[in-house]
Amino acid sequence: QKEVEQNSGPLSVPEGAIASLNCTYSDRGSQSFFWYRQYSGKSPELIMSIYSNGDKEDGRFTAQLNKASQYVSLLIRDSQPSDSATYLCAVNMGGTGAGSYQLTFGKGTKLSVIP
Amino acid sequence: NAGVTQTPKFQVLKTGQSMTLQCAQDMNHNSMYWYRQDPGMGLRLIYYSASEGTTDKGEVPNGYNVSRLNKREFSLRLESAAPSQTSVYFCASRSLNYAPSYEQYFGPGTRLTVT
């Protein structure tokens, strides 16, 4: 059973701080990793994707991937109250089988940025 | 370019009634998905269509049927609604043309209540 684990939170950080969100996954063959942001009552919005070990930066967001440890994280620098949302980690196994079409989602971490 | 659209946005059904949730995408994506999201359960895959003409079961297919009408449209049908199907339903799509990108893009969702 493929699993993606996240701390449910809530994670509270003060405005301007760095928020660190973590995710572990069980399938060692996983190849593609995604972070979605979901505001209350809205649909998930893709904010970052990462496919190789290391860091990937996009504005205030940095995704970090360590396949050996089966660990992916999202850092949000200079956190703003508008970043308050639930962040979903999603993993795709890749390859050519049925699993290659599917994403497995974690249950999400709720982030609250305090002004 | 509207992305992924879903209708209706809200629906209330009585137990035993049937309905069809509609989804369309204008991104020329090959794969389409139906998820449900319940508090504490995260996003769970109901059915997906890897490409036009194919459909496959996901994690929670019981009580649902799907139709991939054409490349753009993917509908979800509840034949005899049950209170356990009260949920928020999201449609998503993904292009196979940009591997290893397996990014999925979500529609705005349908909030369904079954009484």
Q: What is the mean pLDDT of residues A79-101?
A: 85
User: How many angstroms separate the CA atoms of B33 and B43, rounded?
Assistant: 11
pLDDT at position A29? 86
pLDDT at position B109? 98
pLDDT at position A15? 98
User: How many angstroms separate the CA atoms of A94 and A97, rounded?
Assistant: 8
User: How many angstroms separate the CA atoms of B71 and B57, rounded?
Assistant: 18
Q: Residue A93: which pLDDT band, with cuts at 50, 70 and 90?
A: confident
Q: What is the mean pLDDT of residues A60-79?
A: 97
What is the average pLDDT score of chain A?
93
* Percent with pLDDT over 70 in chain A: 93
Phi and psi at residue B14, in whole multiples of 5°? -90, 155
Q: Residue A46: which pLDDT band, with cuts at 50, 70 and 90?
A: very high
Nearest residue of chain A to residue B32 (CA atoms) = A101
Nearest residue to A89 (alpha-carbon basis) of A33, A50, A47: A33
pLDDT at position A96? 65
Which residues on chain A are in Cβ contact (under 8 Å) with B106?
Answer: 36, 43-45
Nearest residue of chain A to residue B51 (CA atoms) = A101
Read off the DSSP letter of residue A83.
G
pLDDT at position B96? 67
Which residues on chain A are in Cβ contact (under 8 Å) with B31?
Answer: 101
Task: Decide if A94 and B102 are in contact by the 8 Å CB cutoff.
Answer: yes
CB pairs under 8 A between A and B: 52
The order of strands in the sheet holding B64-68 is B4-7, B19-25, B74-78, B64-68
pLDDT at position A101? 76
Measured between CA atoms, how close is B97 to chain A, in angstroms? 13
pLDDT at position B101? 66
Q: What is the mean pLDDT of residues A24-47?
A: 94
Which tens digits make up the pLDDT trace of B54-82?
999 999 999 999 999 999 999 999 999 99
pLDDT at A69 over 70: yes
pLDDT at position A98? 62
Q: Which of A49, A98, A106 sits opposite B42 (nearest CB)?
A: A106
Q: Which residues of chain B have pLDDT under 50?
A: none
pLDDT at A47 over 90: yes
